[in-house]
Chains A and B, each alone.
Chain A
Amino acid sequence: MGLVSSLIQELERRDMMECVSIESNSFKSVYLPLYQAGEIQQSLYFTPDTMLNGDNCTIHSIEVVDILTNGTFSDNGQDRDNMAVSVLKSGYIVFSDRERQEFAQVPLVQMVSRLNKGRKFLCKFDEHQWDNCYIEFGSVAGLSSAVGIQLVVNYTPKNK
């Protein structure tokens, strides 16, 4: 028991594990609409968002919102459906820094909280460049201009 608690303390010290509630700072919904049917392994980049760059914030958790969590979202006045898990499971997010060095790959389904017993995908990203991050799909089944991906990003603004 002592060994386990020592390990937990060491991992917490190194920011590799979180055992306390997130001191919630800011949440933001981000939408990535699909404007065409999509292609296999086409990189779908996020729209630039200065606030979400690593220079300006640290991202603590990200949730991918599937169609059962929230059915639709409004993107510039157009309602789009969120994706079903059957579509999301062929996709993954790639996180990159300013130099486009990729430092994390995460399957979309892993970030759907309801499929992971309500647990959030926890992270500590503060070197990323939001518009250098992208999503790829290994299959085009279910991809169309009527759907999009909604993410909920939990972040802390950096004091400058």
Chain B
Amino acid sequence: MFSNIVVKRSQLVTAKIAGTPATLKKYKFQDIPNLSKNNIVVYGFEVYGADQLSISPEGLTIVPSSTIPGVTITLRDNKKQEFVYQLPAYSAVRANNGGLAIIIEPRVINLTDCYIQLTNTSGISADQAICVNLYYDIIK
């Protein structure tokens, strides 16, 4: 018996912790032009620590998994609504949640308005990154 997200399309996105890590500062996700179209709806996501993906496709070092409990994630849609607000990143790591990814009501997001915040900087180094896999579909 399976009960989980079905991936139709996905995109790895990263938020780089530029400079000395600081609490409450907003670290925004880097733009992915493919996701900036209005005919794309995101319907799920999950977060990776270094135990799942140690280096991002851009070559950034991903934060150690032990530091994920000190990270929150906020996602905003194209109407500037924070439909995921300061969700503990730990809750979005599939391995921590019975192998389940987070499923949301499909909506258009504004990726460069989405960000992560640190509630604890210990163990995180400058210029490391958080990696998130966004699951999306194209509205035809």
Q: Which residues of A contact B (CB under 8 A)?
A: 7, 11, 14-22, 40-41, 89-90, 92, 103-107, 109-110, 113, 115-125, 136, 138-139
- Chain A residues lying within 8 Å of B11, measured Cβ to Cβ, are 104-105
CB distance from A144 to the nearest CB of B (A): 18
Size range of the interface on B? 35 or more
A11 touches B133 (CB 8 A): no
CB distance from B134 to the nearest CB of A (A): 10
A16 touches B2 (CB 8 A): no
Instruction: Report Cα–Cα, A28/B62, bound state, in Å.
Output: 32
Scan B60-82; emit 1 where CB is below 8 A from any A CB, else 0: 00000000000000000000000
A21 touches B55 (CB 8 A): no
Q: Which residue from chain A places its CB closest to the CB of B105 in the assembled complex?
A: A7
A89 touches B50 (CB 8 A): yes
B99 within 8 A of A: yes
CB distance from B54 to the nearest CB of A (A): 5
Scan B1-38; emit 1 where CB is below 8 A from any A CB, else 0: 11111111111100000000000000000000000000
B137 touches A109 (CB 8 A): no
Q: Which residues of B contact A (CB under 8 A)?
A: 1-12, 43-44, 46, 48, 50-57, 59, 94-95, 98-100, 103, 105-106, 133, 135, 137
- Chain A residues lying within 8 Å of B8, measured Cβ to Cβ, are 15-16, 104, 123-125
- Chain B residues lying within 8 Å of A123, measured Cβ to Cβ, are 6-8
Instruction: Report Cα–Cα, A149/B96, bound state, in Å.
Output: 25
B59 touches A106 (CB 8 A): no
A90 touches B53 (CB 8 A): yes
- Chain B residues lying within 8 Å of A121, measured Cβ to Cβ, are 7
User: Contacts A17-B5, A90-B54, A110-B52 known; A105 to B12 CB distance under 8 Å?
Assistant: yes
CB distance from B22 to the nearest CB of A (A): 26
B55 touches A138 (CB 8 A): yes
Contact of B55 among A90, A103, A105 (CB under 8 A): A90
A16 touches B12 (CB 8 A): no
Instruction: Report Cα–Cα, A7/B7, bound state, in Å.
Output: 17
